Amino acid sequence: MTLTVQVFATLKERAGAPTLSLELAGPITVRELRARLGEQHPELAELFARALVAVNREFAFDHEAVQPTDEVALFPPVSGG
C-alpha cells in the first residue's frame, strides 16, 4: 500500500511538494518511517531525522506504529502565534 506523508514549511519547500509517498507492506514505527523517507530522499534525511511527526493529527514518537492507512505528517517545530 502507498502511504501519503504530508510535509509543511521548510520540509515542503525542500521537498518541492506538499506530499511524499512511501510503499508499505504493513505497519512500521515512526523511527522506521523517518529512516525510510531518508533513504528515498537522502538530501532531506537530516531534516526528517529531527522533524516532528503526527499520526492521525496527534504527535507521534519513535516507538509508535504507523499503518499504511494513517494520516501522517512531518513538520518542523511550530512557529505560529
Partner 1 sequence: MDTITILRLTRDPIDLNALQRAVTTPRDGAVVIFTGTVRGQTGAHQTSWLAYEAYEAMALEKLRQVAEELRARFPLVHGLALVQRIGEMEVGEPTVAVVVAAAHRGDGAFEAARYGIDRLKQIVPVWKREVRPDGSTWVEGDYFPTPHDKAR
Query: Which residues here bind partner 1, judged by CB under 8 A?
Result: 6, 8-10, 13, 52, 54, 57-59, 61, 71, 73, 75-81
CB of 72 to partner 1, least distance (A): 11
CB of 25 to partner 1, least distance (A): 27
DSSP 2-32: EEEEEE-THHHHHHTSSEEEEE-SS-EEHHH
Distance CA 59, CA 6 (A): 14
The amino acid present at 59, given as its one-letter code, is F
**Residue number with CB closer to partner 1 (2 or 79):** 79
Q: Are 73 and 60 in contact (CB under 8 A)?
A: no
CB of 57 to partner 1, least distance (A): 4
**Residue number with CB closer to partner 1 (6 or 67):** 6
